[in-house]
Amino acid sequence: MEVQAITKNVRISPEKARQVSRLIQGKPVTEALAITDLSPRKAARLLGKTLRSAIANAENNHDLKREALEIKSALVGPGPIIKRFRPRARGSAGRIQKRTSHFTIILTDN
């Protein structure tokens, strides 16, 4: 059975979050939780929250055991981009793009 959790509009760029999501794909849930807890990156903390939500969905909604769960896929997609402007020399403006992400974690029991 597959269980998923989705977090939308997370304020981190998808490129940075994908570095952590590649580390946890295909791993057992307990090992992935250890990776996200011990990693110093902001993306690890945010993906850890989504992973805990997926585990809670599996345990409460489908009566699955935590030890039997494995991460099938951890997807990070682009979200909406917040556009801002910064003053530059000679009256011009430079564009700043504040990127956001959507996280999807799919768990499966073997």
Q: 97-109: b or e for each residue (b if 16 or more CB lie within 10 Å)? A: eebbbbbbbbbbe
12: confidence class by pLDDT, cuts 50, 70, 90: very high
pLDDT, tens digit (0-9, with 9 covering 90-100), for 22-49: 999 999 999 999 999 999 999 999 999 9
Q: Which domain covers residue 86, as residue numbers? A: 2-109
Structure tokens given for 81: 């981009």
Provide the β-strand partners of residue 86: 94
pLDDT, tens digit (0-9, with 9 covering 90-100), for 82-103: 999 999 999 999 999 999 999 9
CA separation for the pair 8, 88 (Å, rounded): 33
pLDDT at 15 (0 to 100): 97
Give me the percent of the chain exceeding a pLDDT of 70. 100
pTM: 0.92
CA separation for the pair 75, 60 (Å, rounded): 23
Q: How many domains, the chain? A: 1
